[in-house]
Amino acid sequence: MSEPLLQLHGVSKSFGAVAALVSADLTLEAGTIHALIGENGAGKSTLVKIIGGLYHRDSGDFLLEGESVHFHNTKDAKAAGIAVIYQEPTLFPDLSVAENIFVGRQPYTRVGTLDRAKMRRDTRELTQRLGVPIDPDRQARGLSIADQQVVEIAKSISVGAKVIIMDEPTAALSGVEVDRLMGIARQLRDEGKGIIFISHRFDEVFSLCDTITVMRDGTYIATNKTAATTEDEIIRQMVGRSVGSLFPKVETTVGAAVLEVRALTSVGVFEDVSFTVRAGEIVCFAGLVGAGRSEIARAVFGVDAYDSGSVTVGGARVPRRNPAGSMRLGMGFVPEDRRKQGLAMAASVQTNVTMAIRSSLARFGLITSSLEEPSARTWASRLQVKTHALDTEAQMLSGGNQQKVVLGKWLATQPKLLIVDEPTRGIDVGTKAEVHRLLSELAGTGVAVLMISSELPEVLGMADRVLVVREGRITAEFARDAATPENVMYAATHAVGAAA
Amino acid sequence: MSVTHTLPPIEKGRSFFGRLTRAREVGLLVLIVVLIVVTTAIQPTFLFSDGGWRELLRQPTILILIAIGEAIVIITRNIDLSVGSVLCLSTYLSGWLFANVPGIPIPLVVLTGVALGAFLGLINGLLVAFLRVPSLVITLGTLYAYRGIAILWIGPHFIRSSWLPPEYRRFGTMQILSIPVLLLVAIVVVLVVGWFMTSRRAGRDLYALGSNPEAATLFGLSERRLTLYAFVTSGALAGLGGLVYLAIFATGDAQVGTGYELEAVAAAVVGGVAIIGGSGTIWGVAIGAFFLATISSALPVLGVPSLWQQSIVGIFIVGAILLDRVLFLSRTRRAKRAGRTS
């Protein structure tokens, strides 16, 4: 056998103190489809970005057809024959489909004008070859995600890519579209291209891919021939680590139901979601990114609208699309993206902490710094926010301290129910444990906590109950004692009954 | 193995979109004609006099030039508020050269004026591209800074027509086939820039950058280089505008071009350039500029009180933006519907 198309060995990459990749290996043969799988945060995307020229590796070997390569940017990678198709394609909405395919290398006619006829012809030919004819002259704006991916694939073929990386391409597609995409992938494989396919859906991986490489915590774990392995084996490789008593979950006595959600449905987003969170209980939504967990939380809190169903807190009906009303009922919400949704970055720590309780602090409708200060000081010290002064701007704090400020903001409202979405994403290990301690303490005081997390150890360490969300539905529920990495991962990746 | 799905019919997107953009330009042209006809009916000298005809065609020239530069910048998702100040400096520098360098060849002065504009545009571009500060802020700063330089330099002085060589003054009134030469200059610029923007890779890259900056970066398009292109072009065209100003008015002080930046933005928007970048044509902008210039010369003739004139221009700008929004929404809805059924 000749040289493999692509060979990576011992590749590492760190961002500051955070090691995204410790040691990644990957060997891709021409004419095969190679699955790259692992939990969220296992380092797949970082690896893809290194291959695609977006990041530079810190160390390790990267061979393309036997030659060591160092890409300076995405252009280099492209020139070397590597194409990456992202989950959300990156087209130019105002340009035509044909121009999107040829952007940066449009053919010219002899008089030095763009050869639109040739672009049109080639585009039609390419998309037809992929079985999805798309009008070359229409604007890219408004194309479905599936069609946008087809345009991206057509582009990669037309530049003569040898390696095509598809980063979770099926996450946003319907069943028919997935079949169509898999057909295209097989066709490209048969034409001798090497394809790296990233997906969380085992049914797709097993029916499509020849080889499966598993990563975990930024490290290469194993490469398996699909024919010679089983799903159980792969899941073991993905999660194989001990979930010790890493987080100090305080045992609490669980009280009466605080949050009750009944048959909540938002068409196309989530469906028939029912669950209860009781006082003093931590309930975790586990599942994959994009499963609809955050969307459910946002609807429950009243940020997003929903179509049917009901939400009650402490027996009172939570109004729709009215976060202020939800807050009055004693709900708090710490969003996933704290930079965008949780903090006023240019405002001081003090202002941020007291933001949610301003009306109760105000005197005669006016708020002054002297009214805010005592409350802010109490919370900042209880949370051990490391900052020199309360008037430090929030954007100057580390991710962990920012998260604590957001938590402080909600704790100051003394909520009955707190919803936290990915509370420890992008936070260093030490602060992580502190955030866990805080949440646990909070539950100890009788607050009901609904937590969303993509990190399995966090879920298993913190939750009194685990609800697994898959494709907009709660597909499994485990009590604390019954939840294991294997059964939670299995529920998160497998359709119940027929495949979607 | 090949894919065996039934092929969905090819969607027709072009004709609809094409009709749309063309509709805007045709609509503007119709408005221009109506405006001229009505105004002439009320006051025949508006068109049927030597000065009237020339004024009608000559007056939009400056706005056309700076609006095209502005449009290129807006297409890249930026804005250039300094064009009026740049124009002023170019006007005065050119007049000063004629006065202080006896016998200086006219082409050299033209070149210097354009080069000055390009240089000032380069400063804008460098600040935007390398400091990564929004261009609104940068060019708001240079709007004042360049004007400040003009005031320091010019002080209370002004260009006297006696400074200018007679051949240069003649440009202002010269006509070929009864079309003012200055308009012909603008038309050449429109054709060249328009061709460049539709038919050269670099032109398309400017649209791509404004349409989706992240994708452009992922794509290896150089955001910095393209941003510099746009601002340098805008500056150079403002410089050229300054020379046209000098030819038409044969005078100028430190206040020349005040407020032009907003007229340029208005012309671009009315001409169909989306303020968020990525779309719009140079032809549309030229027609938009002609339209706005015609309105402002017709309204006084029509007896509209000067207090109302600005409001009417404003109504057209808001109307153009509303029209864009409505069309955009209906297009998105259509595309979504088409996507669902396929």
Taking only the tens place, the pLDDT of each residue in A306-337 is 999 999 999 999 998 898 899 889 998 888 77
pLDDT band at B214 (very low <50, low <70, confident <90, very high): confident
CA distance B109 to B242: 11
- Over the Cα atoms of chain B, what is R_g? 22
B108-114 average pLDDT score: 96
Of B24 and A23, which is predicted with more confidence? Answer: A23
Same-domain status, A176 and A265: no
User: Could you report the per-residue pLDDT of A78-100, keeping only the tens digit for each?
Assistant: 889 999 988 777 899 999 999 99
Across A27-41, B177-191, B208-222, which has the greatest mean pLDDT?
Answer: B177-191
What percent of chain A lies above the pLDDT cut of 70? Answer: 94
Domain final residue, candidates A212, A239, A266:
A239
| pLDDT value at A41 more than 60 | yes
User: Could you report the per-residue pLDDT of A439-453, keeping only the tens digit for each?
Assistant: 888 888 889 999 998
Q: How far is the alpha carbon of A132 from chain B, nearest alpha carbon, in Å?
A: 6
A197 part of a folded domain: yes
Q: What is the per-residue pLDDT for B100?
A: 92
| pLDDT value at A369 more than 60 | yes
Residues 6+ apart with CB under 8 A from A240: A216, A221, A485
The SS3 call for residue A27 is: strand
CA distance A303 to A332: 12
A164 part of a folded domain: yes
What percent of chain B lies above the pLDDT cut of 70? Answer: 90
A238-259 average pLDDT score: 72
| pLDDT value at B55 more than 50 | yes
CA distance A419 to A53: 38
Tell me the two tokens of residue A22: 């410790």
Same-domain status, A309 and A400: yes
The SS3 call for residue B30 is: helix
Please state which of the ranges A90-94, B89-93, B124-128 shows the lowest mean pLDDT: A90-94
Q: What is the per-residue pLDDT for B318?
A: 86
Q: What is the per-residue pLDDT for B114?
A: 97
| pLDDT value at A1 more than 70 | no
A275 part of a folded domain: yes
B34 part of a folded domain: no
CA distance A148 to B46: 53
A90-113 average pLDDT score: 90
B1 touches chain A (CB under 8 A): yes
Residues 6+ apart with CB under 8 A from A14: A20, A21, A58
Of A90, A112, A137, the CB nearest to B13: A137
| pLDDT value at B341 more than 60 | no
| pLDDT value at B20 more than 70 | no
User: Could you report the per-residue pLDDT of B242-292, keeping only the tens digit for each?
Assistant: 999 999 999 999 999 999 999 999 999 989 898 889 989 999 999 999 999
pLDDT band at B82 (very low <50, low <70, confident <90, very high): very high
Residue type for position B100: N
Q: What is the per-residue pLDDT for A428?
A: 65
CA distance A448 to A254: 9
- Per-chain mean pLDDT for chain B: 87
B299 part of a folded domain: yes
Q: How many domains are there within chain A?
A: 2
Cβ atoms of A332 and A415 within 8 Å: the answer is yes
Please indicate whether, in this complex, the C-beta atoms of A94 and B336 are within 8 angstroms of each other: no
Cα dihedral A341, A342, A344, A347 in deg (nearest 10): -170
Q: What is the per-residue pLDDT for A244?
A: 45
Cβ atoms of A297 and A453 within 8 Å: the answer is no
Cβ atoms of B256 and B58 within 8 Å: the answer is no
| pLDDT value at A147 more than 80 | yes
B49 part of a folded domain: no
Same-domain status, A218 and A334: no
Please indicate whether, in this complex, the C-beta atoms of A90 and B14 are within 8 angstroms of each other: no
B33 part of a folded domain: no
pTM of the model: 0.78
In chain B, which residues have their Cβ closer than 8 Å to the Cβ of A75?
Answer: 219-220
B152 touches chain A (CB under 8 A): no
CA distance A247 to A457: 9
Identify the CATH number of the domain in which residue B126 sits.
1.10.3470
Same-domain status, A222 and A280: no
Please indicate whether, in this complex, the C-beta atoms of A112 and B199 are within 8 angstroms of each other: yes
Residue type for position A481: D
A105 part of a folded domain: no
B212-216 average pLDDT score: 88
ipTM: 0.81
User: Could you report the per-residue pLDDT of A351-367, keeping only the tens digit for each?
Assistant: 888 877 777 777 777 77
| pLDDT value at B41 more than 50 | yes
Of A384 and A226, which is predicted with more confidence? Answer: A226
Q: What is the per-residue pLDDT for A297?
A: 92
Distance of CA B162 to the CA centre of its chain: 30
Please indicate whether, in this complex, the C-beta atoms of A183 and B5 are within 8 angstroms of each other: yes
Q: What is the per-residue pLDDT for B8?
A: 42
Same-domain status, A409 and A444: yes
Please indicate whether, in this complex, the C-beta atoms of A113 and B199 are within 8 angstroms of each other: yes
Q: Which residues of A sit within 8 Å Cβ distance of B?
A: 54, 73-75, 78, 90-96, 99, 103-106, 112-114, 124, 128, 130-135, 137-139, 141-144, 147, 179-180, 183-184, 186-187, 190
**What is the domain range of residue B209?**
58-319
Q: What is the per-residue pLDDT for A335?
A: 84
Q: In what order do the strands lie in the sheet containing A417-421?
A: A331-334, A417-421, A448-452, A282-287, A465-470, A473-479
Same-domain status, A333 and A265: yes
Of B9 and A193, which is predicted with more confidence? Answer: A193
CA distance A445 to A430: 23
Same-domain status, A261 and A230: no
Of B255 and A289, which is predicted with more confidence? Answer: B255
Q: What share of chain A is helix, strand, coil (3-state, %, to 5)?
A: 35, 25, 40
Cβ atoms of B83 and B262 within 8 Å: the answer is no
Same-domain status, A197 and A284: no
Can you name the residues that pair with A448 across neighbouring β-strands?
Answer: A417
Domain final residue, candidates A239, A265, A291:
A239
CA distance B295 to A194: 62
Give me the phi and psi of A73, to 5 degrees please. Answer: -160, 180
In chain A, which residues have their Cβ closer than 8 Å to the Cβ of B207?
Answer: 92, 94-95
Q: How many domains are there within chain B?
A: 1
pLDDT band at A500 (very low <50, low <70, confident <90, very high): very low
Interior/surface letters A271-297, b for 16+ CB within 10 angstroms, e for the rest: bebebbbbbbbbbbbbbbebbbbbbbb
Same-domain status, A289 and A211: no
Same-domain status, A182 and A264: no
Please indicate whether, in this complex, the C-beta atoms of A135 and B14 are within 8 angstroms of each other: yes
Identify the CATH number of the domain in which residue A471 sits.
3.40.50.300
- Per-chain mean pLDDT for chain A: 85
Burial class (CB in 10 A: 0-12, 13-18, 19+), A137: buried
B8 touches chain A (CB under 8 A): yes
| pLDDT value at B12 more than 70 | no
Return the number of other C-beta atoms located less than 10 Å from residue A457's C-beta.
17
B59-65 average pLDDT score: 95
User: Among positive and negative, which fits the CA dihedral A499, B1, B4, B10?
Assistant: positive
Give me the phi and psi of A46, to 5 degrees please. Answer: -60, -45
A229-245 average pLDDT score: 72
User: Could you report the per-residue pLDDT of A16-29, keeping only the tens digit for each?
Assistant: 767 788 899 999 99
Of B6 and B327, which is predicted with more confidence? Answer: B327
Please indicate whether, in this complex, the C-beta atoms of A131 and B3 are within 8 angstroms of each other: yes
Q: What is the per-residue pLDDT for B22?
A: 59
Can you name the residues that pair with A34 across neighbouring β-strands?
Answer: A196, A211
A374-388 average pLDDT score: 76
User: Which stretches within A139-211 are classed as H helix?
Assistant: 145-158, 175-190, 202-208
B80-92 average pLDDT score: 96
CA distances from A326 to A308, A360, A445, B174 (A): 17, 16, 20, 73
Same-domain status, A230 and A265: no
Give me the phi and psi of A134, to 5 degrees please. Answer: -125, 135
Return the number of other C-beta atoms located less than 10 Å from residue B94's C-beta.
29
Please indicate whether, in this complex, the C-beta atoms of B201 and A141 are within 8 angstroms of each other: no
- Over the Cα atoms of chain A, what is R_g? 25
Residue B6 DSSP label: P
No. of helices (H) and no. of strands (E), chain B: 14, 2
**What is the domain range of residue A460?**
257-493
B341 touches chain A (CB under 8 A): no
A313 part of a folded domain: yes
